[in-house]
Homo-oligomer: A and B are copies of this chain.
Amino acid sequence: MQERLAGVRCLVLGGGGFIGTHLCRALHREGAEVRGFGRRRSYPDALRAISWSSGEFTDPIAVARAVEGHDVVFHLVGGSTPESSNRDPYGDLIGGAGATIRLLDICRAAGIRQIIYVSSGGTVYGVPQVVPIPESAPTDPISAYGVSKLMIEKYLHADHHLHGTEYTVLRVANPFGPYQSPERRQGIIPTVMERIIRGRAVEIWGDGGVVRDYVYIDDVVRAVIAAIDHRGPNRIFNVGGGRGRTVSEIVEDVAEVLERPEFARTHKPARHTDVPLNVLDISRIGHDLGWMPETDWRDGLQKTAAWLRSWIAGRAE
């Protein structure tokens, strides 16, 4: 396993974010030559050993310069959230699907051998008819964020048909773990954790009965790496934790891990962009790529809590 990627030249677009930071480090550990590209590195210290190009994904010249000389391109760009995308769906379209169209041309010209796209298992399906949701389920997003993510998958498919571009799509559920900032509204786990650690009230949207699929970041990164050089009839894979948890359960478990069983809550109205239930069927990736989540839920929460405590301490200095 060690060094299995020796000499593979990897470019991670969006490499400075939560998943990107972990992916760059993991690729590097496995012997790949890694470059990150993005607007900024959220945790520059974590990426000290990784080459870095600063640039906007919407700037085709910067992207072309970064793509040159690589074998595999990981597309993790996604600056927005479902909520913010609905405030500016046009900007979301240009920065997501629009910039991806140009990326495809650039990758073709540069002879990239595979594009791996990290899509959103939590939004592309919309309100599911069957749970757990298989990859073949209808895709009817209820946010502009989900539509743009889905459209990127569709452009990859068309490009494969027209030009033979090799690609793999990973529809990742809600990832959590170290480097997921509580400030950027990326997920409820760091947000809830930070509030409990600081002794603030936890905000619960709706009745807390919304069901989500959480998957630990190390497992996500293993799935992405397993997809390298994958060829086969299936190109789209769900990546999830294998079971659903209600928001109430998650909050209770976080409090338990933090050893703060008594904590304050406030209730807020349900958000219309939240699908009520989202759990991914992960049997396809198990079958085709031999992947399954391995991190125990409470272990994952413990590691996240340890990182978050040091992050909070670092900011207090």
Interface residues of A (CB under 8 A from B): 86, 89-90, 93-94, 97-98, 101-102, 126-127, 136, 138-144, 146-147, 150-151, 154-155, 157-158, 161-162, 272-273
Interface contact A142-B126, CB-CB below 8 Å: no
CB-nearest residue of chain B to A154: B147
Can you name 8 A-B residue pairings with CB atoms under 8 Å?
A: A86-B162, A90-B101, A94-B98, A141-B158, A142-B157, A144-B155, A146-B158, A147-B151
Given contacts A141-B154, A144-B155, A151-B151, contact A93 B101 (CB under 8 A): yes
Interface residue SS majority, chain A = helix
CB-nearest residue of chain B to A161: B142
Interface contact A143-B158, CB-CB below 8 Å: yes
Interface contact A162-B272, CB-CB below 8 Å: yes
Q: How far is the CA of A155 from the CA of B147 in the complex (A)?
A: 7
Interface contact A138-B136, CB-CB below 8 Å: yes
- A98: chain B residues within 8 A (beta carbon): 90, 93-94, 98
What is the copy number of this chain in the assembly? Answer: 2
Q: How far is the CA of A94 from the CA of B97 in the complex (A)?
A: 10
- A127: chain B residues within 8 A (beta carbon): 161
| Distance in Å: Cβ of A34 to nearest Cβ of chain B | 29
Q: How far is the CA of A98 from the CA of B127 in the complex (A)?
A: 24
Interface contact A89-B155, CB-CB below 8 Å: yes
| Distance in Å: Cβ of A275 to nearest Cβ of chain B | 10
Q: How far is the CA of A51 from the CA of B154 in the complex (A)?
A: 38
- A126: chain B residues within 8 A (beta carbon): 157-158, 161
CB-nearest residue of chain B to A275: B161
| Distance in Å: Cβ of A235 to nearest Cβ of chain B | 10
CB-nearest residue of chain B to A153: B140
Interface contact A272-B161, CB-CB below 8 Å: yes
- A147: chain B residues within 8 A (beta carbon): 151, 154-155, 158
